[in-house]
C-alpha cells in the first residue's frame, strides 16, 4: 500500500520471494551487504530484507507490506530501479521496535562495542563468528580485540554465525543490550582461547544534524567520528559543508567555500553544532560586517573572509544610462526580398510589431512599413537575420528630440517624425527580492513581461524568478514564471510589498498562506500550510 509516483491510495499484490534477503550478488563479498543511501548513510545494517514481487515505485517507500490477513509484515523501502519484479521491505518486528523506542524515548538507544563481524561461510570453521574489523579507541579496541579473532562464546553461551543472513540479527542483538553493560567474550586467536570484557557505550550517530544558513547560501551537517574517519579528517568536531548556492556569500568569499570543506571556527569561536551556529545569529547578519572563518580543506587549515551583512538584491543591480527607444520590432529585408514584395530597391527593415502607446505608434508607424533611413541617413542591411544595426542607431538618438523615419508604404516613400523615449528597463535591472524562508525569488513586472503575457498596464503583481526544489514555495506549487497577483487576498503592487506580506515573523501561526497567481492564460489559487515552519 502506498502512493507510487505521488498517486495516493494505491495497492499492488505479489508474493514473498525470500524472507531474509541480503542485497548481494554472486560477485560480491558478504561484507558488502550493508547498503548506502549516500556517503555515511548506511541502511540494512541490522536486518535482512523481505524480498517480494509486488510492484514498488518511488512514493511507495514507507508504506506497509500487508499480508492477506491484514497484518503488517514489513515497511516497503526500495524497488528495482533497473526493472523487474523485485522489491524489498524492512521486517515489521524491526520497524515496530524502532517505533516503540521513538515514542518512548524520542530516539533509538543502541549499545556500541566497536567491532564488525562476518559469518563462517568458506572459512573452514564450524563454530563462532569472525571479527572482521575493530574501530580505534572503541570498547572492542580497549578490550584487546583484533580483526581475525573468532568469538566463540558471549557471557558463557556458545555463539555461531554460520551464514551471512545471520550477521544482521547478531549485530542487532549486540546493539539491543543495555548501554553501559559489560559483555564477557571468549575468543579464539592463533588456536588459543582467551577471554575479554567489553563495556558498551552509546552508539555514535553515522551522520550529525543538518542545518542551513540561508543568508549565506550554505548547508552543513555536523561532523561525527564516523564522518571524520571516513574523510580522513584530523578533528571530529566541526561542520561539513554539504551545499553552496552560487552567487551567495560563501560562494563569493575569499577564498570561496567548496562542498566538502569543514568549518571549525567563525570569528575565533569554535563551531560544531546547530546550537553553536544559532548563538551567532548568522541569518540576521549579526553585528560584524565581515566574518573570518577557519575551514579545513584536504588537510590544510585555511582562513576565509566573507561579508556577513545582508545585501539587498537590487543594490547589486547595474544602473544603465537611459537609451532611446521608439517601440518597434523589425525584420531585415534584403534587396532581393524587397523586389519580390514591391519594396524599396535597397531593401530595409520591415516593421513587424508596433508596441501600443510607444512613440512609433503615436507617430503612425504601421506593421508592414519598410524603414530605409533614420534622420536622412540610410541604415544598411547586412543580411536577413538580426536588426542590430538599426536598433543601435535608434539607441544612439537623442531622447525627446524628433527623429525622422523614412518608410516605404504601399509603393511610396513617406517620412514620419518620432520623439524617442527612454527604453523600458531590461529584466536584469528590475528590482527583485529573495524570500529566504520560502526559498523563493521574485521581481517586479517589466514592460516586456506585460507585452509577452498580455498583462494590462494597470495590473499589479510580481513575477516568480526562481523556486527551489523542495522548498516551501515549491511545496505550494509555485513555479518559475508565475505572476503572483495577490497574497492572502491583498493586491501585490511590487516586491517591497510582497516581502512585507510574506514576512515570517509577522504571520500568525496556524494560518495558511494563499497566493493568487497567473499562469499562462489562467489564474490559480495556491495554498501553503506552513504551520510547522512557523513553529520551528
CATH number of the domain within which 27 lies: 2.40.10.10
| Residue where the block lists cell 531622447 | 399
**316: in domain:** no
R_g of the chain computed on alpha carbons: 34
Instruction: Tabulate helix, strand, coil % of the chain (nearest 5).
Output: 20, 35, 45
State the Cα–Cα distance between residues 348 and 271, nearest whole angstrom: 67
Q: How many CB atoms lie within 10 A of CB 399?
A: 13
How many structural domains compose the chain?
Answer: 5
**124: in domain:** yes
**279: in domain:** yes
Q: Are residues 77 and 52 in the same domain?
A: yes
Q: How many residues does the chain have?
A: 536
**318: in domain:** no
Strands 290-297 and 483-487: unpaired
**317: in domain:** no
Residue 535: what pLDDT? 52
Q: Do 85 and 53 meet the contact criterion of CB atoms below 8 Å apart? A: yes
State the Cα–Cα distance between residues 65 and 91, nearest whole angstrom: 9
Q: What is the reported pTM?
A: 0.64
Distance of CA 118 to the CA centre of its chain: 38
187: its cell numbers: 575468543
394-425, pLDDT tens digit by residue?
999 988 889 999 999 999 999 999 999 999 98
Residue ending a domain, choose from 281, 311, 341: 311
Q: Are residues 240 and 188 in the same domain?
A: no
Residue 310: what pLDDT? 53
351: its cell numbers: 516593421
Distance of CA 477 to the CA centre of its chain: 15
Burial 242-279 (b: 16+ CB within 10 A, else e): bebeeebbbbebeeebeeebbbbbbeeeebbbeebbee
* DSSP 3-state of 216: coil
Q: Are residues 451 and 519 in the same domain?
A: yes
Residue 44: what pLDDT? 76
**Residue ranges in the chain whose pLDDT is less than 70:** 35-42, 80-84, 283-288, 308-320, 509, 530-536
Instruction: Identify the helix (H) or strand (E) that includes residue 393.
Output: helix 388-395
**319: in domain:** no
Domain that holds residue 433: 427-535
Distance of CA 139 to the CA centre of its chain: 39
Nearest CA among 376, 499, 385 for reference residue 435: 499
Residues 6+ apart with CB under 8 A from 479: 464, 467, 519
State the Cα–Cα distance between residues 187 and 128, nearest whole angstrom: 9
Residue 235: what pLDDT? 87
Residue ending a domain, choose from 168, 183, 202: 202
Residue ending a domain, choose from 401, 422, 443: 422
Q: Are residues 225 and 254 in the same domain?
A: yes
State the Cα–Cα distance between residues 27 and 320, nearest whole angstrom: 64
Q: Is 231 exposed, middle or buried (0-12, 13-18, 19+ CB in 10 A)?
A: middle
Q: Are residues 73 and 90 in the same domain?
A: yes
CATH number of the domain within which 441 lies: 2.30.42.60
Q: Are residues 348 and 417 in the same domain?
A: yes
DSSP assignments along 302-315, one per residue: EEEEEE-S---GGG
Q: Do 30 and 119 meet the contact criterion of CB atoms below 8 Å apart? A: yes
Q: Are residues 360 and 457 in the same domain?
A: no
Residue 279: what pLDDT? 85
Query: Using H for helix, E for strand and C for coil, what is the string for 343-369?
Result: CCCCCEEEEEEECCCCHHHHHCCCCCC
Residue 278: what pLDDT? 85
CATH number of the domain within which 406 lies: 2.30.42.10
Q: Do 202 and 105 meet the contact criterion of CB atoms below 8 Å apart? A: no
Q: How far is CA 12 from CA 8, 54, 160, 259, 351, in A?
A: 12, 6, 39, 41, 61
**In 305-355, which residue ranges form alpha helices assigned H by DSSP?**
335-340
**CA quadruple 244, 249, 250, 256: dihedral, nearest 10:** 110
Amino acid at each position: 500500500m502506498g502512493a507510487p509516483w505521488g498517486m495516493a491510495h494505491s495497492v499492488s499484490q505479489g508474493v514473498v520471494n525470500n524472507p531474509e534477503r541480503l542485497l548481494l550478488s554472486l560477485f560480491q563479498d558478504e561484507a558488502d551487504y550493508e547498503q548506502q543511501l549516500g556517503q555515511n548513510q548506511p541502511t540494512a545494517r541490522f536486518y535482512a530484507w523481505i524480498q517480494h514481487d509486488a510492484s514498488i515505485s518511488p512514493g511507495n517507500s514507507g508504506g506497509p507490506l500487508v499480508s492477506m490477513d491484514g497484518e503488517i509484515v514489513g515497511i516497503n523501502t526500495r524497488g528495482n530501479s533497473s526493472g523487474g519484479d523485485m522489491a524489498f521491505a524492512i521486517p515489521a518486528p524491526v520497524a515496530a521496535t524502532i517505533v516503540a523506542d521513538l515514542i518512548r524515548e524520542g530516539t533509538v538507544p543502541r549499545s556500541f562495542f566497536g567491532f564488525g563481524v562476518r559469518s563462517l561461510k568458506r572459512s573452514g570453521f564450524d563454530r563462532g563468528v569472525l571479527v572482521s574489523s575493530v574501530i580505534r579507541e572503541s570498547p572492542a579496541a580497549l578490550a584487546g580485540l583484533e580483526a581475525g579473532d573468532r568469538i566463540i562464546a558471549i557471557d558463557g553461551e556458545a555463539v555461531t554465525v554460520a551464514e551471512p543472513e545471520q550477521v544482521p540479527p547478531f549485530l542487532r542483538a549486540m546493539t539491543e543490550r543495555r548501554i553501559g553493560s559489560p559483555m564477557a567474550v571468549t575468543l579464539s586467536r592463533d588456536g588459543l582461547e582467551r577471554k575479554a570484557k567489553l563495556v558498551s557505550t552509546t552508539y555514535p550517530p553515522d551522520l550529525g544534524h543538518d542545518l542551513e544558513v540561508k543568508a549565506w547560501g550554505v548547508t552543513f551537517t555536523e561532523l561525527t567520528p564516523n564522518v571524520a574517519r571516513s574523510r580522513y579528517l584530523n578533528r571530529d568536531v566541526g561542520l561539513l559543508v554539504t551545499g553552496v548556492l552560487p552567487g551567495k556569500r560563501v560562494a563569493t568569499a575569499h577564498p570561496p567555500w567548496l562542498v566538502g570543506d569543514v568549518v571549525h571556527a567563525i570569528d575565533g569561536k569554535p563551531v560544531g553544532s546547530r546550537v553553536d551556529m544559532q548563538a551567532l545569529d548568522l541569518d540576521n547578519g549579526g553585528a560584524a560586517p565581515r566574518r573570518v572563518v577557519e575551514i579545513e580543506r584536504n588537510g590544510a587549515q585555511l582562513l576565509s573572509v566573507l561579508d556577513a551583512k545582508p545585501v539587498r538584491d537590487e543594490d547589486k543591480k547595474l544602473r544603465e544610462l537611459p537609451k532611446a527607444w521608439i517601440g518597434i520590432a523589425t525584420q531585415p529585408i534584403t534587396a532581393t526580398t524587397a523586389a519580390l514584395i514591391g519594396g524599396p530597391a535597397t531593401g530595409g527593415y520591415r516593421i513587424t510589431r508596433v508596441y501600443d502607446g510607444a512613440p512609433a505608434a503615436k507617430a503612425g508607424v504601421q506593421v508592414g512599413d519598410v524603414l530605409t533611413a533614420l534622420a536622412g541617413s540610410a541604415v544598411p542591411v547586412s543580411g536577413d537575420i538580426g536588426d542590430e544595426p538599426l536598433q543601435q542607431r535608434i539607441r544612439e538618438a537623442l531622447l525627446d528630440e524628433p527623429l525622422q523615419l523614412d518608410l516605404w508604404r504601399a509603393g511610396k516613400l513617406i517620412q514620419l517624425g518620432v520623439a524617442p523615449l527612454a527604453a523600458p528597463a531590461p529584466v536584469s535591472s528590475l528590482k527583485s527580492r529573495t524570500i529566504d524562508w520560502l526559498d523563493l525569488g521574485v521581481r517586479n513586472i517589466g514592460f516586456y513581461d506585460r507585452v509577452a503575457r498580455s498583462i494590462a498596464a494597470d495590473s499589479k503583481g510580481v513575477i516568480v524568478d526562481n523556486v527551489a526544489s523542495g522548498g516551501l514555495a515549491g511545496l505550494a506549487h509555485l513555479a518559475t514564471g508565475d505572476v503572483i497577483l495577490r497574497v492572502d487576498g491583498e493586491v501585490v503592487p511590487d516586491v517591497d510589498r510582497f516581502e512585507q506580506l510574506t514576512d515570517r515573523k509577522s504571520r500568525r501561526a496556524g494560518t495558511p498562506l494563499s497566493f493568487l497567481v497567473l499562469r499562462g492564460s489562467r489564474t490559480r489559487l495556491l495554498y501553503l500550510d506552513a504551520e510547522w515552519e512557523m513553529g520551528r
